Structure 1
Amino acid sequence: MNSQEVMDSYDKHVLHTYGRQPIVVDHGHGVKVYDLDGNEYLDFFAGIAVNNVGQTNDKVVEAIKEQAEKVIHCSNIYYNEPCAKLANTLAEVSDFSKVFFSNSGAEANEAAIKLARKYTGKGEIITALKSFHGRTMLTVTATGQEQFSKPFKPLPPGFKHVPYNDIKAMEDAISDDTCAIMLEVLQGEGGINVADKKYMKDVEKLCHDNDILLIVDEVQTGIGRCGTLFAYENFDIKPDIISLAKGLGGGVPIGATLATEEVSKGFVPGDHGSTFGGNPLAAAAANATLSVIKDENLLDNCKEMGKYLKEQLNTLKDKYDFVSDVRGLGLLVGVELTMEGGDVVDKMREKGVLINCTAGNVLRLAPALIIEKEDIDTMVEKLDQVFAEL
């Protein structure tokens, strides 16, 4: 099939739930992807912060090949070694001793919500405005953006939304039925909004004082994206539950819900499940991904390149008055504009660089953690050219 035939097939047979860019990705390696017509793109989106170790990382590909030749799937009625290894590693590198495996971020958040309700015996969850927690009926209701939930009413009960970084609003929202506060320490889909460190410490204290669980949604920010393996580590807090997905599998779908030993007691056999959760193929990919991040010191590279990226973007902020802010953590960075950002995304693609726009006017940059200065320089040069044409 040529590119037009692929796109025509999508239009004819695939539900129209995405605003797709007009390229057909054929292959990629590292920080480059290539379309079916042979055009090269510098990827500063990484599959929505999924390809943290780059496209088709050699070690991840080899792990997938080796596991595929042994067994691709087995039921959770049985044990499998890759899943056991992954559980051990996550426990070793985190503040949590138990994990539930699923297939996506929404599922990881569903498990977190169910576990919090089951453990506490209460039903209410408080989340933040501009948050994003998933597309299932439960997680879209948890999401603090009405545009995502309004078309699907009636919605499940039990959720309150309060302004982000407003501790008074959070405190006022707590009731006798509140079982958990669920937050992103950096709101990705909401516009790359970073929590204040004091705010997160105060939320943690509120939880402790009111016997409420703290859930941190790390679906987009986890697995090295923000310069630490888990973004919450930047805020000197210890949640009761976190959710992971995107970057964990090196591109293979996987979700994980991590909980403390005590909170994990809320689930007993039969309370929750997932046919593909803990799948040996996905677990093998995740094991390889975590090894690459450790062995290649990608957390240090993320910190260094993230700092350099923001420095270079701030030169554009000084140059163009329609750039109102540059913010983020590690290699999840937003460039806020005083105009809609869709045209910028299109023009950057035409220049061979893939970026994204979220919240309407915030350019979202989330390159692989293996990115180098010369790649950042190329992207910033192209962005400068696009800005000059506006």
Structure 2
Amino acid sequence: MNSLFPTYQRFPIELVKGIGTRVIDQSGNEYLDFTSGIGVTSFGHGNSRIKAAVLQQLSNIWHTSNLFESSLQEDVAKKLIPDGSYAVYFANSGAEANEAALKLARKATGRDGIVSFQNSFHGRTFGAMTATGQPKIRDGFGSLLPHFTCGAYNDGSRLTELITGETAAVILEIIQGEGGVQPAETAWLLAVAHQAKQTGALLIVDEIQTGIGRTGKKFAYQHSSLEPDIITVAKALGNGLPVGAMLGKKTLVESFGYGSHGSTFGGNPVSLSAASIVLDLLHEPGFLEEVQAKGDYFRAALAQNIAKSPHVETVRGEGLMLGIVMKEPIKTQIRELQKQGLLVLTAGKTKQVVRILPPLTVSYDEIDQAVAILEDTLLSVKIGE
């Protein structure tokens, strides 16, 4: 494929069909997809209800632009925030949602300072990239945006120096996905929120990978008493169709009025037809409780079986966002897992974490199959590059 920029390090697998948790490649090989397209297809591949809604929308109208009213946008916004405490801006991706959040924070506060944290990931556009606490994402692009500061994740010792009267917003992830499936400590989250409130800074919670049910709650921040000023979502919201959203408290509406921001494709009706059903499925009675139960079952099975390996440090995460922390890089093992029919991801600064993101609809039998493959591979394959 010489016609493409080599911006991705691709596996030699082309996935051509998917149903539920399973995908098939160009050679007819079948895999358990425990990547979900990096946390995207949370309701599985080819979900019949989502597919029907998309086909229905395709038979009506594909695009209108945001110069016209959209009852579908209004309906999806209400499903995102049923109590109406936040207003919604629709974008096309997580990076776009975060860009909107950073712009809103600066406009609403009249301040410039943005605080983020080491090993975070917020996107690859200039604002989101500047906020990302990973040098490898930023290197080579020249001068980034000014007034951004990066603090230590889960370290509350210097918050008063970090978040000040010049800070417009603090942006953080409840669980750092690309950073190695690293959960935030609740006490630290609350301390950050307190310092932000004390100084008049806004709290932005990036739920792009953790949101829409991934951790067993609609949003991961709901595992604590945190009250974000701004929430960003994307990935799983469209179950594979491109859509993102920024949710801001109603008190911020006047700061994002006519002409302050916009998107040609944001809130596209085809993407939102998928998002509407995703949220319906998410809100079905008992669904999120079942996600948490599956996550607990999966994590316990991993702890019991994978802990046998001398190469494993720990298993961490929440719900169906789990990470097996290894003692060395695991490129060889990821390829072996693929040969055994299991697709997973890596994460962390040195790619030492097996990141596991199955569809939220995964069955217990499929979890058992994945654990057996992981156990066999992690115990038998030589670790390293």
Report the TM range for the smaller structure's normalisation: over 0.9
Partner of residue 39 from structure 1, selected from 1, 6, 29: 29
* Structure 2 Cα separation of the partners of residues 363 and 171 of structure 1: 35
* Structure 2 Cα separation of the partners of residues 388 and 202 of structure 1: 40
Structure 1 position 202, deviation (Å) = 1.2
* Structure 2 Cα separation of the partners of residues 334 and 118 of structure 1: 37
1:70 aligns with 2:48: no
**Residue aligned with 1:179, SS:** strand
> Where does 1:1-390 land on structure 2 (aligned, <5 Å)?
11-92=1-82, 96-295=85-284, 297-359=286-348, 360-390=351-381
Structure 1 position 156, deviation (Å) = 1.1
* Structure 2 Cα separation of the partners of residues 318 and 340 of structure 1: 17
Structure 1 position 96, deviation (Å) = 3.4
Structure 1 position 225, deviation (Å) = 0.3
Structure 1 position 14, deviation (Å) = 1.2
Counterpart of 1:40, as a letter, is E
Structure 1 position 388, deviation (Å) = 2.4
Asked if structure 2 preserves the Cα contact closer than 8 Å seen for 1:101 and 1:108, the reply is yes
State the TM-score, normalized to the length of structure 1.
Answer: 0.95
**Residue aligned with 1:272, SS:** coil
Q: State the Cα deviation string for residues 128-157 of structure 1 (Å, max 9, x = none).
A: 100000010111110000110011111111
CA 1:100–1:153: 2 relative to 1, 3 Å: same
Q: State the Cα deviation string for residues 177-217 of structure 1 (Å, max 9, x = none).
A: 21111110100000000001111111111111111110000
Gaps of 5+ in 2: none
Asked if structure 2 preserves the Cα contact closer than 8 Å seen for 1:316 and 1:323, the reply is no
Flag the structure with higher helix content.
1
Show the counterpart of 1:6.
Answer: none
Asked if structure 2 preserves the Cα contact closer than 8 Å seen for 1:76 and 1:275, the reply is yes
* Structure 1 Cα separation of the partners of residues 120 and 146 of structure 2: 17
* Structure 2 Cα separation of the partners of residues 343 and 244 of structure 1: 32
Q: Which moved more, 1:201-210 or 1:252-261?
A: 201-210
Structure 1 position 389, deviation (Å) = 1.8
Counterpart of 2:284, as a letter, is D
Structure 1 position 296, deviation (Å) = 6.6
Counterpart of 2:19, as a letter, is H
Q: State the Cα deviation string for residues 329-348 of structure 1 (Å, max 9, x = none).
A: 11000000001011111110
Counterpart of 1:364, as a letter, is R
Counterpart of 2:106, as a letter, is R
* Structure 2 Cα separation of the partners of residues 298 and 12 of structure 1: 44
Gaps of 5+ in 1: 1-10
Asked if structure 2 preserves the Cα contact closer than 8 Å seen for 1:219 and 1:243, the reply is yes
**Residue aligned with 2:208, SS:** coil
Asked if structure 1 preserves the Cα contact closer than 8 Å seen for 2:306 and 2:374, the reply is no
**Residue aligned with 1:319, SS:** coil
Counterpart of 1:63, as a letter, is A
* Structure 1 Cα separation of the partners of residues 21 and 230 of structure 2: 32
Asked if structure 2 preserves the Cα contact closer than 8 Å seen for 1:83 and 1:284, the reply is no
* Structure 2 Cα separation of the partners of residues 230 and 13 of structure 1: 39
**Residue aligned with 2:81, SS:** helix
**Residue aligned with 2:27, SS:** coil
Q: State the Cα deviation string for residues 289-338 of structure 1 (Å, max 9, x = none).
A: 11122237431221011001110111234311210010001100000000
Q: State the Cα deviation string for residues 2-61 of structure 1 (Å, max 9, x = none).
A: xxxxxxxxx211111111111111110110011121111001110000011111110000
Asked if structure 1 preserves the Cα contact closer than 8 Å seen for 2:112 and 2:166, the reply is yes
State the number of aligned residues: 379
| TM-align CA RMSD | 1.2
Structure 1 position 364, deviation (Å) = 0.2
Counterpart of 1:45, as a letter, is T
Structure 1 position 276, deviation (Å) = 0.5
**Residue aligned with 2:157, SS:** helix
Runs of 4+ in 1 over 6 A off after TM superposition: none
* Structure 2 Cα separation of the partners of residues 81 and 24 of structure 1: 38
* Structure 1 Cα separation of the partners of residues 343 and 306 of structure 2: 20
Counterpart of 2:281, as a letter, is V
State the TM-score, normalized to the length of structure 2.
Answer: 0.96
CA 1:275–1:341: 2 relative to 1, 3 Å: same
Counterpart of 1:78, as a letter, is F
* Structure 2 Cα separation of the partners of residues 288 and 161 of structure 1: 37
* Structure 2 Cα separation of the partners of residues 50 and 296 of structure 1: 22
* Structure 1 Cα separation of the partners of residues 159 and 107 of structure 2: 22
* Structure 2 Cα separation of the partners of residues 224 and 388 of structure 1: 31
* Structure 2 Cα separation of the partners of residues 153 and 143 of structure 1: 15
